[in-house]
Every structure is written in C-alpha cells, then in structure tokens.
A and B are shown apart, each in its own frame.
Chain A
Amino acid sequence: MISKDIDVAVIGSGPAGLAAAINAKEAGAENVTILERAEQPGGLLHQCVHNGYGLTYFNEDLTGPEYARRFIEKAMDLRVDIELESMVIDLSPDKELVCSSKYGLKKLQPRAIVLAMGCRERTRQQILIPGFNPSGIMTAGTAQRYVNCEGYIPGKEVVILGSGDVGMIMARRLTLEGVKVKAVVEILPYIGGLIRNEVQCLGDFNIPVYLSHTVTNIHGQQRIEGVSVSKVNKNFEPIEGTEFRIDCDLLLTSVGLIPENELSLKAGVKIDPVTGGPIVNENMESNVSGIFAGGNVVHVNDLVDNVSLESQISGTRAAEYALGKTLPSVRRINLKAGENIRYVVPQTIDVGKDVTIYMRVREPREKVRLGIGSIYSENLRVVKPSEMLKAKITLEQLREIKGEVSEIEVSCVKRG
C-alpha cells in the first residue's frame, strides 16, 4: 500500500516548494513529487498581483503570478509531478506521509522530504485587541484573497493595524478599489515592512500613518463600526488619555507571519523558538534525517526571491540525500545570535561547505558592522528588522575557524 518509489517529496507548491522541486530534479533525483492542497500550484503568489518580484532572481520586475508561472513552467518541463488538491495530513519521523484528496488516501514513503508549507498570518486574538467580535475584522492576507482572487471588497472604510508588507500593499490595493483607507496604525516607532512599500503604498497615496499607536478597542456588535486607537509607551502599553476613535467598517490586521509547522512537529522536527521554523543545518536539513525545509516555513523571509534561493539548496541537498550522495560532515559549528541579531539561519554550519547565512536584526541602526566570529566582517550603512541580512561564507573563511571552536557569535553593532 505504501508507495516507496519517490526520491523527493515536496510539501507545498509555493515559491519555496517549486524552487526545491526544480533543483532536486536538476540534481539528479528521478521521481520528484510536489503535494499541494490548493487547486493550482503557486501558493500565495496568486493573490499577490502587485509587482516587485524577481528583481534579484530574474533581474526583472514581475508580478506574483508571473513569478510563479516561470517556476511552474520550469517544473513542468522537468516533469516534476505536481499533485493538486492533495493535503498531507500526517507525517512520521520515518518519513511516512499520509495524503488526502478527492481520490482517496495515499501513503508515501519518499527517500527525502522537503517541507515548504510557508507561513500564515497572526490573528487579532494573538495580539490581544479586546472588545466585541463583530464581522469586518480579518487579516490583510484574507482580504487580499477576497479582493484579488474572489472579486469581493470586504468594506468601504478601513483601518489597518500593523505595517507589515501585506498590510501596506492592501492599503494601496484597497485605495485603488475605491475604499477609504483611514489609517495605518503601527505599535512600533517605525514601519514594519519594506521601505519600498512604505514609499509606494503609503506615501504615494497619502495614507495617514500612526506610529507608536495601537488599536485598544473594537466598537460595534454586529458589523464593526469603529476602533479606538491609543498612543503607546516604550513598553508598548497604551498611554491613558491618548485614546481617540476612528470610524470604519473594516479592520485589517497585518501583525506578523508565523511559519506553519504543524506537520513538522508531527515528524519530530525541532523548532527554533525565535524563528518559529525548524532548526536547520547548512543543507537546510532538520534534526530528522532526510527531512529538509526551505522558505518561509523555516523563517519568514523579506523577499520571495530569497525564498527561492534558499529553497534551491533544500532541493539540491534533498536529492543528494535520496541518491546517497550526501557529503560527510567535517565539523559542526553552531551560530549564535549575538548583539542586535534576532536570529541566524541556518543555525548550524559545517566547516567543509560554503554557505549563505540569513539574519535579521532586532532593531534599526545606522553605520554598523556585521561580524560573524572573526571570519566575516561587513560594514553596513543601515540595518532594519524588516530587511534580512545575507552573508556568503566561503570555504577559505571557514578554514580559519580553529579546531577547538564549536560556536561562533554573529553580531551587528555600531562601528568605531
């Protein structure tokens, strides 16, 4: 009953899954299967009809669906098997997976697995906005799906809580649809998403932004009628007496993304409490042998291009694993997040292989030096939590690490 002839199974066909599958095939894996729960491949790229994709990867400015299409076509050309409307409902540590679809249940035991389930949005409840539970409150991503894929507009006057990228993009999108965007409210003293979205989505459309503010109450028992907004102090607590009301019939939340790792946990994959994704090594392999991961399921990336680049590694290494060609490990080094670094991915590297390291800072700073132990140093003009840092480390640099060292610290501190 259990099908065992698959080399690499990829769970999810978003940008991460597609890139991983393509590279797995190119690395020589014969049978590569993508399992996708939606009706079409491409993941959330389909609802991202705006441009800004592919600038790094293709050196072109593409929309989300265009970007997805390039990968889908390549995957088809390479004869990657894409199974649609197939949801993986179980995954065991010995890599046995159960997949459900209209055609029944299927059990597979591929030689290697790439987790590419992406991420989901945090909800209103997780950031504690008290008040009623009326209709007209949804995440920015859900609204994006309604507007761009289903053809519906969820409200006429909107307040957006949080200045994540999806929130800012929806501010522009809804404005173009004739919706009045009354405010973007951000609890941090700075915008949460990319600078280009701040300029192109908020600035260009004169959308009012309230920094260091948050929504402290929701009015309306049936349909939302308005929100209370308050200024917050340094500890993000609302300051009494600063509350004011904004009337609206829609509240969108864009308050962060969480990697989606329910399946990973079932397989016994260890999760990094900071990234919310699997702890991986330089091969993007988790603690469970043969289970790899790539893209937003590992850590929430800033750009789709980076998701593709990172997942290519997962795909290649998964194929090598399936074919029994994995290079032996020379010596493990743990990477530790030091000053002003929130996290580092991968969390462990091997001195025998060059590697690209992705990092995010804790807070914005100017004129800093990014240092990885004593082997890597780079001066940066400005760093922001919304933009990932990337460092390529070569074999030569890795050779500088002395024999007794098992952990190096990454930091991003002011120069001089």
Chain B
Amino acid sequence: MSILQEPLNKSLEADVAIIGGGIVGACIARELSQYKVETVLIEKYELNAGQSRGTLGLTYWGGLGEVGSSILKSVIAPGSPLYDPESIRLRLQEKGYYMWFQRLLELDIDYKFVKNLIIATNEEELKLLDNMHKLSFEIGPFYMDHRYIERDEILEIEPAVTKDVIRGLVDSGRLTFRAFPPEMTYALVENAQQNGVEIVEDAEVTGITHNGGAQVIHTRRGDIKANFVVNAAGRFADEIARMGGHCDWKIELFKCPLIVMDKSLPRINNFTMLPPIPGRPLVLSPTNEGNTFVVAGLYTKVYDRHDLSTDRESINYAINEAHRISPSITHQGIIRSFGGLRAVNNRNPEENIIEFAPDNPKFLNCAIRLPGMAQAPGVADYVLDRLGNHGLEMVKKSDFNPYRTKIPRFRELSDFYRRQLIEKDPRYGHVVCRCETITEGEICEAIRRGARSVDSVKMRCRAGMGRCQGGFCGPRVVSILARELGIPEEQIRQKEEGTFVVPYRSKELSLRSQ
C-alpha cells in the first residue's frame, strides 16, 4: 500500500462532490471555492489533467483554430455543418475563452498567443486553401480573422517551414493562446485548495448510493457523503453517470498520436498545418518551452479507455508528413510520443451533455466535447448556475483569495533573481534535471504542492521532460520524493497505482532464490 491509498481517516461530508480532476472538474472546483459551499474534488489517480494532457494545449475561439478542429468533426459527426450558430457548445466556448484571461493572470499561468498558419506546397493544396478561404466567407465574420500570405512572408514568420511553400492563410494571432494544460489544471486546483476545497486523490469511485437524501460516493479509500454530485469524469463520464442514475448515452473515444520533438530543432513559431484533409490532422505546434509538437495521423476509434499507446505505422506516417512541412523534423528528433484521446458522447457528438440525471435531481452529468480547455470556465459557470437552480445555496465568501503563484522557475529568471532565490533557499542552486535546468528547490515545491509520483513531479515542474526523459534525474527525483514524503524508495511510483520505479532492494532477490 502506498501513501495515496491509505483509507480516508474521517468520514467526509460535503455539499458538492466533483468526480474527476481534469480541466473541467478543476474549473468547477475553483468556481465553487468562491462560495460558502463545502466542496470535495475526487480523482481516480493523481491529478494529472486527464485528456488535456494529450492535447496541444491550444485554447481558441473561432478563426482558423476552429477550422483545424473541424478535421475531427468529419470523423465524429460526418456531414455536420462547420459552424452551427445555435450550438450551446460554441456559446460556452466563446464565454470560456474570454473568461480564461482573468484566470491566467490571477493564477499566474504562462500563456502565449500563437498565429494559425495554413500553408500550401503544391497545386492540389492551393486548391484546398482556396476552398477554405471561400468557406470562411460563407460562414461569416466568425472566421474572417485571416488573410492570404505569400511565400516570402511565410518564410519570414516561420523560417523552419519547407522552402517549397507557395502561399498560405494566416490569422491575426488574437484568437488562439497556448498554455500547458497540466499547469492550468494544477493552478486551478491549488487555488481551490487554498480556498478550502478538499482534494481526494487515488480514490476511484466504485459506486454511488442515492435514495432521496444525501448521496454516498463509494471510493477505494472510503465513502464520501455529498448533497450534490457533479460528474466531470471525462472519458469515464458514462461509467460514473450510470452509477448516479439513468444514462442513455455512451462515451466514444478517438485517438491520434502526439510526438514531442527536441528543443534543438529549428523552432516553430506558429500553429502550422497543411490544408486539412478530413480525419487526417497534420499539424506542427509550438510549445511555450521551445519544443515542437507533431500531430499527424488518422483519428481512429478506440475501445480501451486507457489506451494511450502509439504504433510504429502512425509515428512513421506522422514524422514523414511533418517532414514535408518542416524538413528538420526526422525520427532522430523525437523525445517522446503518446496517444492523445478525444472523447465525445454518442447522443450528439457535436454537443456537450450538461444535465441532471433524469432520475436523480442532485446528480449533474458533465460530459464535454472538445475543445475542453476553451470551454472549461464557461462550463463551470453554467454548472454553478444549474446547481443553484436545483437548490444549492451559494453565498459568496468574503475572504476568497483569487491569487495563486507558480512554482519559481530558475531557468527563466535573470541572474539577479536567481541569486535572490538561492539566498532564500539554497536548494534552488542545485540543478537536478540538467536537460531542462530544474532545481531541487522546484522539485521540493512541486512535492509540497501535492506531487506524489515521478510523473506528477514532471508535470508540475518539468523535471524529466527534456531530451533524456529522466534518464539522469530520474533516480534523483525518486530519492527526493522518498525523502520529502518520508517513505522508502521502493514505494515511489512512476505514475498511478502499480507503477513502482524500483520495486526491490538489492540482495533481496538473490537472497530469496538461495
């Protein structure tokens, strides 16, 4: 048994229990923390941003970003219009998008605006480009934030693209920003926690009892009583929905490989793609830290909800295609690859499901179609509204603190501030992750804020995210975790349950076999 799996030592009771610590659950928790509402956030594993972790981290509203996202549309909902003015999802996305800016500032989240750039390198692609341009006129002002751009200018704003480029479409860069999804989630949760929200991790929900009064959520660590339950379980939302009441929909999953390239390659500045062919994204996207993300391949339907695997064909396809956009991208530059999942519901794949269970008026299902990040604050706002309608009493706290500060980043500071930081805490002078220049101080702070596994340390402060993928700092992070948490190294996990890094002590096996 590891530190996370210990039974809850008190019987938890709350006004609202949120199931799922992804971006949606985190947003709802943070919104609720403004009110005098006892809130519990329940997470199956460790908080790790769920599906958002397998995305490019782009938050957008309309424009070419929406055109990019339409690539998936042809797979999940063939024949649906590119833009439906009646769509509730788009309303939430617009609202959520603009709500983000206040939160980015309050929560000290790093973000950067990026331009969307669609390039054509041959006659066929030029035709597709013209079609997209025409289409945008038909749809109206929602998409009108872009213009044609010629070869020379493309090479100026995006020197890493192929010299074969002929022309492209580019937007103003005012409608898409890039942030690191786990950072957004952690920031929201940390702030919610500051304001009194209880976080319960490693507590897979096994059942929910509801007969009239308070509902009892059975988790692997014990029962939690709650008046209202919000189901924000992402790709597991239908499973949880069925525990809470009647449910006539299912979650369907689509997978596409994501590949992270080494920082040393010529960097991509814009969200760059070839004219999209339905179902086949081919995208290069910058990260705030200088790596390039490659997404290229077919969205394929998967049936295993845990399937984050990759396969040789799709990676080869992705790299070969990406090489067409930017010739410096080859297999040698890969530092990590994984499958990204996109969840939609089968009732209306174009829409969210945000509704109370038909037979349980205090159980709110919240299954969000992508893009989840852009929608999340809007969704949270909407959820609070619905909870209020169903009788949740919401009185504002007078002492709500909307501010959270990020873990100091040694690598980004000037020498002056670096000196100051080391003077305050000498551990900030000790660089542990050499690829990303992450110090012991940052790792300890990540643990203080709740990291319990090697992966969670990585997501919170980047140690192990560089080109050696924790080969050097891995053992050091394991021993810092053991020291800070006060448990033996054999109990330190890579990620969720059952993923110990070094399960045995030396001599243990050789003595056993004698």
CB distance from B445 to the nearest CB of A (A): 16
Q: Is B502 an interface residue (CB 8 A)?
A: yes
Cα–Cα, bound, A128→B335 (Å): 10
Q: Which A residues lie within 8 Å of B474 (CB)?
A: 138, 142
Proximity string of chain B (396-416) to chain A, C-beta cutoff 8 Å, 1 when within and 0 when not: 000000000000001000010
Interface hits, B62-100 → A, CB 8 Å: none
Proximity string of chain A (367-410) to chain B, C-beta cutoff 8 Å, 1 when within and 0 when not: 00000000000000000000000000000000000000000000
Interface hits, B298-351 → A, CB 8 Å: 306, 308-312, 315-316, 331-332, 334-338
Cα–Cα, bound, A120→B312 (Å): 25
Pick the interface stretch among A58-66, A98-106, A202-210, A350-358: A98-106
Residue of A121, A142, A222 touching B498 (CB-CB under 8 A): A222
- Whether the Cβ atoms of B334 and A128 lie closer than 8 Å is yes
Proximity string of chain B (210-228) to chain A, C-beta cutoff 8 Å, 1 when within and 0 when not: 0000000000000000000
- Whether the Cβ atoms of A37 and B509 lie closer than 8 Å is no
Q: Is B469 an interface residue (CB 8 A)?
A: yes
What is the number of residues of chain A that contact chain B, defined by CB distance less than 8 Å? 55
Q: Is B358 an interface residue (CB 8 A)?
A: no
Pick the interface stretch among A153-161, A281-289, A302-310: A153-161
Output the nearest chain B residue to A107 by Cβ-Cβ distance. Answer: B415
Residue of A104, A126, A147, A179 touching B334 (CB-CB under 8 A): A126
Q: Which A residues lie within 8 Å of B431 (CB)?
A: 37, 87, 89, 100
Q: Is B7 an interface residue (CB 8 A)?
A: no
Chief secondary structure at chain B's binding surface: mixed
Q: Which B residues lie within 8 Å of A179 (CB)?
A: 509
Residue of A102, A139, A176, A223 touching B429 (CB-CB under 8 A): A102
- Whether the Cβ atoms of A123 and B469 lie closer than 8 Å is yes
Output the nearest chain A residue to B489 by Cβ-Cβ distance. Answer: A152
Q: Is B135 an interface residue (CB 8 A)?
A: no
Chain A CB within 10 Å — which of B264, B311, B335, B471 has the most? B471
Interface hits, A105-133 → B, CB 8 Å: 105, 107, 120-121, 123-126, 128, 130-133
Q: Is A346 an interface residue (CB 8 A)?
A: no
**A150-B502, A152-B506 known; A120-B308 Cβ under 8 A:** no
Q: Which B residues lie within 8 Å of A120 (CB)?
A: 468, 471-472
Q: Which B residues lie within 8 Å of A142 (CB)?
A: 470-472, 474-475
- Whether the Cβ atoms of B426 and A102 lie closer than 8 Å is yes
Proximity string of chain A (34-69) to chain B, C-beta cutoff 8 Å, 1 when within and 0 when not: 000100000000000000000000000000000000
- Whether the Cβ atoms of B495 and A135 lie closer than 8 Å is yes
Proximity string of chain B (462-490) to chain A, C-beta cutoff 8 Å, 1 when within and 0 when not: 00000111111011000100000000011
Cα–Cα, bound, A265→B500 (Å): 36
CB distance from A89 to the nearest CB of B (A): 6
CB distance from A377 to the nearest CB of B (A): 35
Output the nearest chain A residue to B511 by Cβ-Cβ distance. Answer: A178
Q: Which B residues lie within 8 Å of A101 (CB)?
A: 429-430
Q: Is A145 an interface residue (CB 8 A)?
A: yes
- Whether the Cβ atoms of A100 and B498 lie closer than 8 Å is no
Output the nearest chain A residue to B507 by Cβ-Cβ distance. Answer: A177
Q: Which A residues lie within 8 Å of B264 (CB)?
A: 265
Proximity string of chain A (156-169) to chain B, C-beta cutoff 8 Å, 1 when within and 0 when not: 10000000000000
Cα–Cα, bound, A177→B334 (Å): 34
- Whether the Cβ atoms of B506 and A147 lie closer than 8 Å is yes
- Whether the Cβ atoms of B423 and A123 lie closer than 8 Å is no
Output the nearest chain A residue to B508 by Cβ-Cβ distance. Answer: A153
Q: Is A190 an interface residue (CB 8 A)?
A: no
Cα–Cα, bound, A13→B141 (Å): 63
Q: Is A146 an interface residue (CB 8 A)?
A: yes
**A132-B308, A152-B504, A221-B306 known; A125-B469 Cβ under 8 A:** yes
- Whether the Cβ atoms of B490 and A85 lie closer than 8 Å is no
Q: Which B residues lie within 8 Å of A105 (CB)?
A: 415, 418-419, 422, 429
Q: Which B residues lie within 8 Å of A222 (CB)?
A: 495-499
CB distance from B235 to the nearest CB of A (A): 14
Cα–Cα, bound, A105→B419 (Å): 6
Output the nearest chain A residue to B498 by Cβ-Cβ distance. Answer: A222
Chain A contacts to B: CB under 8 angstroms: 37, 85, 87, 89, 98, 100-105, 107, 120-121, 123-126, 128, 130-136, 138-139, 141-142, 145-147, 149-156, 176-179, 216-218, 221-223, 238, 249, 262, 265
Top-9 shortest CB links A-B: A178-B509, A135-B494, A178-B510, A152-B502, A135-B499, A102-B426, A222-B498, A153-B504, A87-B431
A-B contacts besides A104-B429, A221-B306, A222-B496, 13 pairs, CB < 8 Å: A102-B429, A103-B426, A105-B419, A105-B422, A130-B309, A130-B312, A130-B337, A131-B311, A133-B338, A135-B500, A136-B499, A142-B475, A155-B503
Chain B contacts to A: CB under 8 angstroms: 264, 306, 308-312, 315-316, 331-332, 334-338, 410, 415, 418-419, 422-423, 426-427, 429-431, 434-435, 437, 439, 467-472, 474-475, 479, 489-490, 493-513
